[in-house]
Amino acid sequence: MHTLSQLKSGELSGTQHLKISENLTSFPEEILSLADSLEILDLSGNQLTSLPDELVKLQKLRIIFASNNLFETLPEVLGKCPNLEMVGFKANKITEVPADALPAKLRWLILTDNQIETLPDTLGERPRLQKLALAGNRLTELPQTLAQSTALELVRISANQLAECPEQLLSLPKLSWLAFSGNPFSQSDLSIQSVPEVASSSFTLHDVLGQGASGVISKATWNQKQATFPDDIAVKVFKGEVTSDGYPEDELQVCLKVGSHPNLVQSLAQVNEEEYSALIMGLIPSHFSNLGFPPCLDSCTRDTFPPGFTLSIDEIHKIVAQMQNVFTHLHSNQVSHGDLYAHNTLFDADANIIFGDFGAATMYHMLTEKQQEKVKQIEHRAFHHFIDDLLSVCAAEDQQHEKYNLLKQKITQ
């Protein structure tokens, strides 16, 4: 994090990445002095409503974040920035996206949690578009031009007002991660009661184990000995608001619908109280760790791994076989995970996996048979990317192994 005083003093001259959050109400002109170096500009967490036309002077600018501000219109000047690839205006008050506001080189657009009802046709005329996050708006339809978005790989359209399944997305050749719950077309009258309800007063939360877009997961203990539940539990308390993936209540219902599987996080019970929703889960043993890390700004849609991390081909083969079983289980229950990635997978020293994080998952039993098959094909591509990502960290001495070649063949079929 930088400060406005640092910027004004010239201390930040030559910086490539600038981040200022000081309740700014106007764009600091001093930012323009960084025109020869600035590539990433983060003005999130301010009170901005507009950007100056002079922004185009930042010729090297590739990424701009302006989340949690007060913009009502996506600034048209963005479309004039020659090298801008990533635009993030999450959690503003945007109602209008002008046709000329989308940069020609756009790869990644984040407009989550705004008030957008329509999008311009120019969105589908950005050939490099890979990642599109639109959850938590008021969209009633998507541009038909998105059928041209042949590079699009990840889409989040949950928690909108889409009355019909957007067919223009389902046949895109590279689409691999799709979340669409919380729309009129994907509404379900299912009320899953596969696990019992318990009171929030029946347990006590302890150390935070992790948190994501939809909630916080903590280690917990029962306040009284339970006959039907294990002593060691984790509790995910949902934030109760729209997230980058959709509504927390949809995530809860999906977790209950998929039921039990040895390679899935085990759902034990649920809490459904006014202003308090939670899922009680089996506590994952401490010897499990993350298989991968989320995509970075450069990789965009593909997972990353720690430097020097490798897996043997036998480990990869075992992990893939388990994930294949998970995939089959999910889709036999007509559930698309929407986020099938190594970074949502835990593994241990014996290459056993536990798969979780259903924030982007969607039940799709309400779709037509043809639509259901396309949704399954989309996630099948994600599974292939999962395999490909693991093969990218395969030990060098195993890359001539027969199993390696068989997995390589599998992802090209």
Task: Verify that 257 and 295 share a domain, yes or no.
Answer: no
Query: CATH number, domain at 216?
Result: 3.30.200.20
Task: Verify that 77 and 213 share a domain, yes or no.
Answer: no
Task: Verify that 153 and 88 share a domain, yes or no.
Answer: yes
C-alpha span between 320 and 313 (Å, rounded): 10
Instruction: Identify the helix (H) or strand (E) that includes residue 40.
Output: strand 40-42
Domain end, chosen from 186, 209, 242, is at 186
Strands (E), 104-214: 108-110, 131-133, 154-156, 177-179, 203-211
Looking at the domain assignment, is residue 192 inside a domain? no
Q: What is the mean pLDDT of the chain?
A: 93
Band (327; pLDDT cuts 50, 70, 90): very high
Domain end, chosen from 248, 266, 282, is at 282
Assign residue 136 a region (left: φ > 0; alpha: ψ between -120 and 50; beta: otherwise).
Answer: left
Task: Verify that 123 and 229 share a domain, yes or no.
Answer: no
Task: Verify that 169 and 246 share a domain, yes or no.
Answer: no
236 annotated among ligand-binding-site residues = yes
Looking at the domain assignment, is residue 191 inside a domain? no
Task: Verify that 37 and 175 share a domain, yes or no.
Answer: yes
What local confidence, expressed as pLDDT, does residue 244 receive?
Answer: 64
What local confidence, expressed as pLDDT, does residue 170 receive?
Answer: 97
**CA 131 to centroid of chain Cα atoms:** 10
Supply the DSSP string of 175-187, one letter for each residue.
--EEE--SSGGG-
CA distances from 62 to 1, 2, 3, 25, 85 (A): 19, 19, 21, 23, 5
Band (193; pLDDT cuts 50, 70, 90): low
Instruction: Identify the helix (H) or strand (E) that includes residue 318.
Output: helix 313-332
Task: Verify that 78 and 181 share a domain, yes or no.
Answer: yes
Query: CATH number, domain at 169?
Result: 3.80.10.10
Looking at the domain assignment, is residue 193 inside a domain? no
What local confidence, expressed as pLDDT, does residue 273 receive?
Answer: 87
Question: 130, 149 in Cβ contact below 8 A?
Answer: no
Domain that residue 254 falls in? 200-282
Position of tokens 């025109």? 35
Mean pLDDT lowest among 31-35, 161-165, 238-242, 336-340: 238-242
C-alpha span between 161 and 139 (Å, rounded): 5
Task: Verify that 204 and 84 share a domain, yes or no.
Answer: no
Q: Of 88 and 225, which is predicted with more confidence?
A: 88
Q: How many CB atoms lie within 10 A of CB 163?
A: 10
pLDDT 10s digits, 378-395: 999 999 999 999 999 999
Looking at the domain assignment, is residue 53 inside a domain? yes
Task: Verify that 20 and 100 share a domain, yes or no.
Answer: yes
Question: 37, 59 in Cβ contact below 8 A?
Answer: no
Q: Of 213 and 388, which is predicted with more confidence?
A: 388
Domain end, chosen from 237, 266, 282, is at 282
Looking at the domain assignment, is residue 194 inside a domain? no
Dihedral sign of CA atoms 207, 210, 212, 218 in order: negative
C-alpha span between 166 and 332 (Å, rounded): 23
Looking at the domain assignment, is residue 138 inside a domain? yes
Report the DSSP pairing between strands 353-355 and 345-347.
antiparallel
pLDDT 10s digits, 84-123: 999 999 999 999 999 999 999 999 999 999 999 999 999 9
Q: Is the pLDDT of residue 49 over 80?
A: yes
Average pLDDT over residues 77-86: 97
3-state secondary structure at position 73: strand
Report the DSSP pairing between strands 177-179 and 154-156.
parallel
pLDDT 10s digits, 361-378: 999 999 999 999 999 999
Query: CATH number, domain at 339?
Result: 1.10.510.10
C-alpha span between 105 and 267 (Å, rounded): 43
Q: Is the pLDDT of residue 248 over 80?
A: no
What local confidence, expressed as pLDDT, does residue 183 receive?
Answer: 95
Please give the angle made by the CA atoms of 29, 31 and 33, to the nearest 5 degrees: 95
Looking at the domain assignment, is residue 56 inside a domain? yes
Q: Is the pLDDT of residue 208 over 80?
A: yes
pLDDT 10s digits, 270-319: 888 888 888 899 999 999 999 999 999 889 999 999 999 999 999 999 99
Looking at the domain assignment, is residue 170 inside a domain? yes
Contacts of residue 71, defined as CB under 8 A and 6 or more positions apart, other chains included, come to 48, 49, 50, 89, 92, 93, 94
Task: Verify that 101 and 154 share a domain, yes or no.
Answer: yes
Supply the DSSP string of 319-360, one letter for each residue.
HHHHHHHHHHHHHHTTEE-S---GGGEEE-TT--EEE---TT
Q: Is the pLDDT of residue 126 over 80?
A: yes
Task: Verify that 21 and 49 share a domain, yes or no.
Answer: yes
Task: Verify that 61 and 146 share a domain, yes or no.
Answer: yes
Domain count, the chain: 3
Average pLDDT over residues 49-53: 97
